[in-house]
Structures are given as structure tokens and as C-alpha cells.
Amino acid sequence: MNDRCRRFEAQVLPQLDAAYNFARWLARPPLDAEDIVQDAMLRAFKGFDSFRGESAKSWLLSIVRNCFLDAVRKTQRRRAEPIPSDDELGSDDSAWLSEEPNPEAVMIQTDEHRQLHEVVANLPREYREVLVLREMEGLSYREIALTTGAPIGTVMSRLARARSVLRERWQTGEEDARRVVQ
């Protein structure tokens, strides 16, 4: 194995989970996310010699984002059906494997996770993108700006608005649920 492959494996491959998570939030259906990540990894490997950045994670996530946007453009050009939402969010088996002694608490937590995923998934793409990169992937504002190609002020504004919309929709959803129970 040559030095280039070793450096790629050491710097980029550890970011594969983050790339898939980001692609999943952008594209939602798991198969589409897998295709996007596969395309991104191929592009990253081909362009690895030109990588000069500080953060392999933000570099790879930029490539994932660009692959997603390319896929969206291709879909729009073909006038195909839009990418469907992921109905599998409710099938998270990890809650069932929990050693939580109270099954009711597990069900409530699972339902809350599903509702949160649904609210985040329904945010506008620009908001969802910065929220996932900051809160789930732990990128700094600067890294998010590099990843999305937006100015840092725009990143901060979108993140604040995303949090506000998320909070508003979450609280509205909880009120709606309480009305149904009463």
C-alpha cells in the first residue's frame, strides 16, 4: 500500500460515519444516502492529493454535500419523483435492545426520538444542513462555513433560525399531542 492510500485511510476513513450520517439527513432514504457517500468517497479518493485543509471531516462533508446537490439537480432535470421521506425512522430497534427496566419509558423515549427526527427532517434544507453539522457532527462555525460554502455570518444566522424553528415546531407538536390525550 502506498503512502497516499495510508494517509487517506488515516485521515478520511475515520470520517465515514459522519459522512453517512450527514448524507442520511440530507437525502433521508438510506439507499440514496449510501449512494451519495459512495460517490463522495470516490471523489475524495480521486481528489485527495489536492487536500490541503486543516480538517478532513469538513472537507469530506463538503464533498458529501456537493454529491447530494448533484443528485438533486439530476433528479430535477429528469423530472423524476422527488426523493421520498424516510419512513424507517420509526423502526429504530436500538430502543428495544435497551436494558431499561420500564418498557413505557422506552416507548416514550422512542416516540420522542421519532418526533424529533421528523421535525428536523422537515426543516428547510439550509437549516437542516447547518443544524446537523453543528449539533450532530460537532463542526465549528468555520468548518460549517467551509462545508456549505456560506459565509460564517450566514451559518450563524441559519443555525439560530433552525434552532428557533425546531423549538417552535417541537413545542407546537407537544401541545397538539396533549390536546389529543385530553
Mean pLDDT of 155-167: 93
pLDDT attached to residue 175: 54
Q: What is the predicted pLDDT for the residue at 98?
A: 46
pLDDT of residue 180: 41
For residue 65, report the phi and psi dihedrals to the nearest 5 degrees. Answer: -60, -45
Domains in the chain and their CATH numbers?
1-84 (1.10.1740.10)
Q: What is the mean pLDDT of the chain?
A: 80
d(Cα 114, Cα 100) in Å, to the nearest integer?
18
Query: Residue 141 burial (CB < 10 Å; 0-12/13-18/19+)?
Result: middle
Give me the pLDDT at residue 14, please: 92
Question: Per-residue pLDDT tens for 93-124?
Answer: 554 444 545 566 666 667 777 888 888 888 89
Site of grid cell 425512522: 89
Q: Yes or no: say if 139 and 61 are a contact pair by the CB < 8 Å rule.
A: yes
Q: What confidence category does residue 179 fall into, taking pLDDT thresholds of 50, 70 and 90?
A: very low
What's the pLDDT tens digit per position in 27-63? 866 668 899 999 999 999 999 888 887 788 999 999 9
Q: What are phi and psi of 123, to 5 degrees?
A: -70, 155
Please give the pLDDT value at position 177: 46
Residue whose grid cell is 426520538 = 113
Whole-structure pTM value: 0.59
Residue of higher predicted confidence among 57 and 82: 57
SS (H, E, C) the chain: CCHHHHHHHHHCHHHHHHHHHHHHHHHCCHHHHHHHHHHHHHHHHHCHHHCCCCCHHHHHHHHHHHHHHHHHHHHHHHCCCCCCCCHHHHHCHHHCCCCCCCHHHHHHHHHHHHHHHHHHHCCCHHHHHHHHHHHHCCCCHHHHHHHHCCCHHHHHHHHHHHHHHHHHHHHHHHHHHHHHHC
